[in-house]
Amino acid sequence: MSDFQARIRLLLDQHSATKIAKDTGISKTQLYRLCESGRDTTRENLIRITAATGTNLIWLATGEGPMYADGTKEPVLKIPAKTTNKQNSADSFSDRYALIPLYNVSAAAGHGAVVEHEEVVDSLAFKREWISQTLNATPADLYLINVQGESMTPTLHPGDVILVDRRNGENITTDGIYVIRMGDSLLVKRIQRLPGQKLRISSDNPAYQPFELKIDEAASDELAIIGRVVWSGRRM
């Protein structure tokens, strides 16, 4: 855990994620993702968090100086010696499981779905061990979206939840199912590498015709491969 992650975790422990989310307008999922990824957040979010908690902005950003703006408390990043059973249970869950965000965006297994929102509407828990050992990933690499349309049946069905590894959109080295952005739409398709630096984009439903494009055409303002589908789930 980085120092910044530890400082965010300390604030969540002292002030509760629910209260900070309510006072700042930053969702609890976003707050927990800061603890998971350790990535820097925006200046606006830092200011919101410090205003809501009375925290010293310099301390939150760098770890220097007193923890609180009034200087009454020092930044001691230690887990309290005594914790309640409820706290122990929450810590144990956080140690074993990571909450992966589900975005309010659908990838169409058909002719495309317009991307209108990218807000987090829910999250699903996955074992950290599975993420690390099976996917060779970190929670920050992953996100969830829904599938629309029938072009990927019987592999994927409308309403399925898919887990996407954002790293695998940067360089297609393995054939598989990927999420593609075409303009303002998302598609979920099967991609196969072909000789001559080409990609074959196809559907599992034979009613939909495949097409080809050059690898260097798969990263532009109009078209980009944004991640590989590594898991799916559905209601029976």
pLDDT for residue 216: 77
CA separation for the pair 188, 179 (Å, rounded): 4
- The residue type of 129 is E
| Tens digit of each residue's pLDDT (9 = 90 or more) over 84-121 | 555 555 556 777 888 888 887 766 555 555 444 466 77
Average pLDDT score, the chain: 79
pLDDT bucket at 138, cuts 50 / 70 / 90? confident
What would the pLDDT profile of 22-77 be if each residue is shown by its tens digit? 888 888 878 877 777 656 678 888 888 888 888 888 888 888 878 877 655 444 33
Query: What pLDDT score does 168 carry?
Result: 67
137 or 172, which is more confident: 137
Instruction: Supply the pTM of this predicted model.
Output: 0.59
**47 in Cβ contact with 57 (< 8 Å):** yes
Bridge partners (DSSP) listed for residue 193? 199
Give the Cβ contact number of residue 129 at 10 Å: 10
Peptide bond into 158 cis (omega under 30): no
CATH number, domain 3-82, options 2.60.40.290, 1.10.3720.10, 3.40.640.10, 1.10.260.40: 1.10.260.40
Residue in the structure block whose two tokens are 């855990």: 1
pLDDT at 221: 66
Query: Angle CA(170)–CA(173)–CA(178) in degrees, nearest 5?
Result: 65
Local structure of residue 203 (DSSP, 8 states) = -
The domain segmentation of the chain, as residue ranges, is: 3-82, 96-233
Predicted confidence band at 78 (pLDDT cuts at 50, 70, 90)?
Answer: very low
Q: Is 79's pLDDT higher than 50?
A: no
Average pLDDT rounded to a whole number, residues 212-233: 82
Contact between 179 and 187 under an 8 Å Cβ cutoff? The reply is yes
Q: What is the pLDDT of residues 141-162, one digit of tens each?
A: 888 989 988 999 999 999 899 9
Whole-number Å distance between alpha carbons of 161 and 1? 29
Q: Are strands 211-214 and 223-233 parallel, antiparallel or unpaired?
A: unpaired
Model pLDDT, residue 115 = 47
Question: Is the pLDDT at 191 greater than 50, yes or no?
Answer: yes
Q: Which fold has domain 96-233?
A: Umud Fragment, subunit A (2.10.109)
Does 7 score more than 50 pLDDT?
Answer: yes
Structure tokens at 135: 């996917």
